Amino acid sequence: MIHFEHLDKYYKTKKGRHYVFKDVNISLPTDRNIAILGPNGVGKSTLIRLMGGADMPSRGRIHSQKNISWPLGLQGGLQGSMSARENVRFVARIHGYNNTKAIEQQVEEFAEIGRFFDEPVKNYSSGMRARITFGLTMGFDFDFDVLLIDELGAVGDANFRKKSEKLLLDKYEKTKLIMVNHSIRGLKKYCDAGVLIHEQNLIFFDSLGEAIKKYRDIYVK
């Protein structure tokens, strides 16, 4: 399970705190493939970043005994001042890989971003960041119980998406997913349960069909 305990996430504005999530208390199963549903701006990517440790709660905590990946996709979880190569080297070492050169080469070949592989990540487009995070996570045998995926379908050109989806399907049998995707069709392809973001809170549905129906009832006019 992934446990949320009294979770708040807010940003300070000139008009005061803007809450994305407020006093969230829920436990999400880690034996299901879960779609995150909600309209633009409601906090889907923020939720992925919070679960993956790329962002921190304003109050409360998220914890789990399962091994959860960093965010894959358009947002990613890379250190901006470091190059992709340096990020790959750092992540590989903290996961116990000594032969980082081999890993660097494989991610570089997978990501297909040329000379930018040695440029600071802060200069990357969101698509380039996604290629690195996805290649790093999916290209190696990291023992993740849950993969966090943010808009995989928007990563790269058609050939790269095809390659990424093949890797995802290869991992699909061994791990579970929590996924953001604006395409309902894409969510149905991989997920069987759903979480709806509504009124700064999370509602879990054991059936993806029920989650989609509730999402449409509330948000699709």
Q: Average pLDDT in the 50-59 region?
A: 90
Global pTM reads 0.80
Q: Mean pLDDT, the chain, as a whole number?
A: 86
Query: Dihedral angle at the C-alpha atoms of 152, 157, 159, 161, nearest 10 degrees?
Result: 0
pLDDT of the residue at 142: 63
Examine the pLDDT at 134 and tell me if it is beyond 90: no
Report all structural domains of the chain as residue ranges with CATH numbers, in order of start: 2-219 (3.40.50.300)
Question: For residue 131, what pLDDT band results from cuts at 50, 70 and 90?
Answer: confident
The secondary element (H helix, E strand) that includes residue 198 is strand 193-198
Examine the pLDDT at 58 and tell me if it is beyond 80: yes
Find, among 102, 99, 128, the residue nearest to 115 by Cα: 128
Examine the pLDDT at 74 and tell me if it is beyond 60: no
Residues of the chain with pLDDT > 90: what percent? 49
Highest mean pLDDT among 40-44, 79-83, 104-108: 40-44
Query: Residue 81's CB: how many other CB atoms inside 10 A?
Result: 10
